[in-house]
A and B are shown apart, each in its own frame.
Chain A
Amino acid sequence: MIQKEEIEHMGWLARIELSEADKELFVKQISSILDYFAVLDEVETAEVDPTYHVIGIKNVVREDEPKGSLSQSEVLRNAAKKEDGYIKSPRIL
């Protein structure tokens, strides 16, 4: 069973504010997800190499050639708040 403190910590990492009701709900839901995946813990993997990528291709690269970018107005189109060509965000330090 996952603890409430862990849910709070996950909320902090995702920068999401959680109400007490949210926390209780997520404790139950995330615990059940973890229980479901716990089946995998029983698989014997001592002889298996770790998987880093599931597609078997390598060395996909591009040449160093600059191409055009979006215009400033296109870049800012989805921004909720903007000022002087910048996107505005809360001050964080």
Chain B
Amino acid sequence: MEVKIGLECHAQLLTKSKLFCSCSTDYHNADPNTHVCATCLGLPGALPVVNTRAIGYAIKIALALGCEVQEETIFYRKNYYYPDLPRGFQITQYDFPIAFNGLVRIESDSGDGSKEREIRITRVHMEEDPGRLAYKGTIDSAKYSLVDYNRSGMPLVEIVTEPDLKSPKEARIFLGKLRSILEYLDVYDGDLEGAMRVDANISIEGGDRAEVKNISSYKGVERALLFEITRQKNLLRRGLNVRLETRHYDEVRGITLSMRTKEFEHDYRYFPEPDLVPICISDRVEAVRQEIPELPDEKRKRFLALYSITPEHASSLTYDLPIAVYYEAVASKIDPRLSATWIADVLKGELNYRSISMREASKRIPHDEFVTILRSLEQGVITERGATTIIRAMLDKGGKPEEIIKIKGLASMGSEETEKIIYGVLKDNKAVIADYKAGKKETLNFLVGQVMKHTQGRADPKEVSRLIRDKIESGV
């Protein structure tokens, strides 16, 4: 059964002030209702005036997504009553958005051998964020809602896709790609709480579609959609209809619930916001285009060609801009392929394990010190295990590579010392050597292990293996 998924992605823009008033956007750790004024509180007579930088950011996003930016853009009122909406309407856009018709390429099996899929972008428009509802205890047991309007009026860009996504996994990949593009543009920070919120339209062949609202994390998207597909498949299997409806995603329980809303699009009574005049945007397009940096797809292709690294490494290193910048700084001094392995595989793994960002990591291990670590490895001063130990130590406790090598005794053993230990191990394991000679080649691993134990990991296991084999075979 074919699954079709379309997403509406709401991303908060990194402006300094809100979309229609001059309240600061720096509210993330603030007390409730402290970043609010007459305009974003919807007091009578307050006039919204649009933030010109927010418009510029929206145009930048539209261009990066390959959209056609429109001549002129108009704001509308979308009317509905909800406590997080102080005026009883949200200022958003309708038939004259910022842009239409874009395209995002994601890495996913297309089924025809290609590893790339094209996801069409329907439109890009701007709107204000509503406030935030909080609950005492859990959302189910709370007797009332608590409203914080600090978020009210935050600038959002809504990016709407065509129903081109074929699985929850693709939806997650798409969102990752979108995040990557927005961060490259320097208009968005995915680490901020609530920076991206997603509504998903999902249908299975033979059924109506349901809209799932309130998905607020990258992992949540895949989980919410998996739940929803299972729910719809079960209905269809029993010969029941999937109702055209809006469902709410419960992040804690990982399920979707019917919202039993009675509102449809015409109930929103969209009409042009009389307090905001039309904005000409086509004459800003060329200037904004000049500000668009090299984007992830172009960077990936350049990395592949310039550094001869694997496609997997090229993707992994270009997903997150700070990592790409860090990699290029290291690869300008150290073999690019060795750098790719140590940054894409080792460093990224250590960062994921500790949930720290590259921005933070580059404070703990500046790129020139990463160069020092890899140079020591290349020169045989330390082993691979030693290099990993240094990286972990620097991430956890700080310090300099040279000091850590000394303090932890990570300097590789001289070959003389290693040979001595190998000699000792071979002398103590005559029976094992006999097995090896009789054809049990796997016993070599045991011998290497014994040597590594005696050297406390300060020898290179590949080198040790080679030395042991040579010694046994030459009969020493």
B22 at the binding interface (Cβ < 8 Å): yes
> Contact size class for B?
35 or more
Segment at the interface with B among A17-25, A27-35, A41-49, A82-90 = A82-90
Say whether, besides A89-B144, A91-B144, A64 and B51 are in contact (CB < 8 Å).
yes
Ordered nearest first, which 3 A-B pairs have the shortest CB separation? A86-B146, A64-B53, A89-B83
User: When the two chains form the complex, which single residue of A9, A52, A65 contacts B278, counting CB atoms closer than 8 Å?
Assistant: A52
Question: Scoring B residues 117 to 145 as 1 if CB is less than 8 Å from chain A, else 0, what string do you get?
Answer: 00000000000000001110001001111
Say whether, besides A88-B145, A91-B143, A58 and B37 are in contact (CB < 8 Å).
no
Q: How far is the CB of B4 from chain A (nearest CB, A)?
A: 27
User: When the two chains form the complex, which single residue of B24, B33, B37 contacts A76, counting CB atoms closer than 8 Å?
Assistant: B33
Q: Which of chain B's residues have a CB closer than 8 A to the CB of A84?
A: 32, 146
A14 to B263, CA, bound (A): 12
B38 at the binding interface (Cβ < 8 Å): yes
Q: How far is the CB of A1 from chain B (nearest CB, A)?
A: 20
Q: Are A75 and B41 in contact (CB under 8 A)?
A: yes
User: When the two chains form the complex, which single residue of A14, A57, A69, A87 contacts B34, counting CB atoms closer than 8 Å?
Assistant: A69
Q: Are A62 and B277 in contact (CB under 8 A)?
A: no
Q: Are B33 and A61 in contact (CB under 8 A)?
A: no
Q: Are B278 and A70 in contact (CB under 8 A)?
A: no
A41 to B271, CA, bound (A): 19
Q: How far is the CB of A22 from chain B (nearest CB, A)?
A: 18
Q: Are A85 and B16 in contact (CB under 8 A)?
A: no
> Contact size class for A?
35 or more
- Residues from 63 to 79 in A contacting B, C-beta threshold 8 Å: 63-67, 69-72, 75-76
A86 to B144, CA, bound (A): 11
Q: How far is the CB of A81 from chain B (nearest CB, A)?
A: 8
Can you report 20 A-B residue pairs in the complex whose CB atoms are below 8 A from each other?
A9-B262, A12-B262, A13-B81, A58-B72, A60-B276, A60-B277, A62-B49, A64-B51, A64-B52, A66-B22, A67-B23, A69-B24, A69-B36, A72-B32, A83-B146, A85-B148, A87-B33, A89-B147, A91-B135, A91-B142
Considering only CB atoms, which chain A residue lies closest to B263 in the complex? A13
A92 to B263, CA, bound (A): 15
Q: Are A62 and B146 in contact (CB under 8 A)?
A: no
B227 at the binding interface (Cβ < 8 Å): no
Q: Which of chain B's residues have a CB closer than 8 A to the CB of A87?
A: 33, 83, 146-147, 149
For the A-B complex with A13-B81, A59-B280, A64-B54 known, give 20 more contacts whose Cβ atoms are closer than 8 Å. A52-B278, A59-B277, A61-B279, A66-B22, A66-B26, A67-B17, A67-B22, A69-B24, A69-B36, A70-B38, A86-B134, A86-B148, A87-B33, A87-B146, A87-B149, A88-B144, A90-B83, A91-B143, A92-B82, A93-B139
User: When the two chains form the complex, which single residue of A9, A58, A89 contacts B145, counting CB atoms closer than 8 Å?
Assistant: A89
B272 at the binding interface (Cβ < 8 Å): yes
B55 at the binding interface (Cβ < 8 Å): yes
Q: Which of A14, A15, A58, A59 has the most CB of B within 10 A?
A: A59
- Residues from 273 to 292 in B contacting A, C-beta threshold 8 Å: 274, 276-280
Q: Are B144 and A55 in contact (CB under 8 A)?
A: no
B318 at the binding interface (Cβ < 8 Å): no
Say whether, besides A64-B54, A75-B33, A76-B33, A58 and B149 are in contact (CB < 8 Å).
no
B50 at the binding interface (Cβ < 8 Å): yes
Say whether, besides A15-B81, A52-B74, A61 and B51 are in contact (CB < 8 Å).
yes
User: When the two chains form the complex, which single residue of B32, B35, B49, B262 contacts A60, counting CB atoms closer than 8 Å?
Assistant: B49
A60 to B51, CA, bound (A): 9
Q: Which of chain B's residues have a CB closer than 8 A to the CB of A91?
A: 135, 142-145
Q: Are B31 and A92 in contact (CB under 8 A)?
A: no
Say whether, besides A53-B274, A58-B278, A93-B248, A72 and B31 are in contact (CB < 8 Å).
yes
Q: Are A13 and B279 in contact (CB under 8 A)?
A: no
Q: Which of chain B's residues have a CB closer than 8 A to the CB of A61?
A: 49-52, 55, 279
Considering only CB atoms, which chain B residue lies closest to A89 in the complex? B83
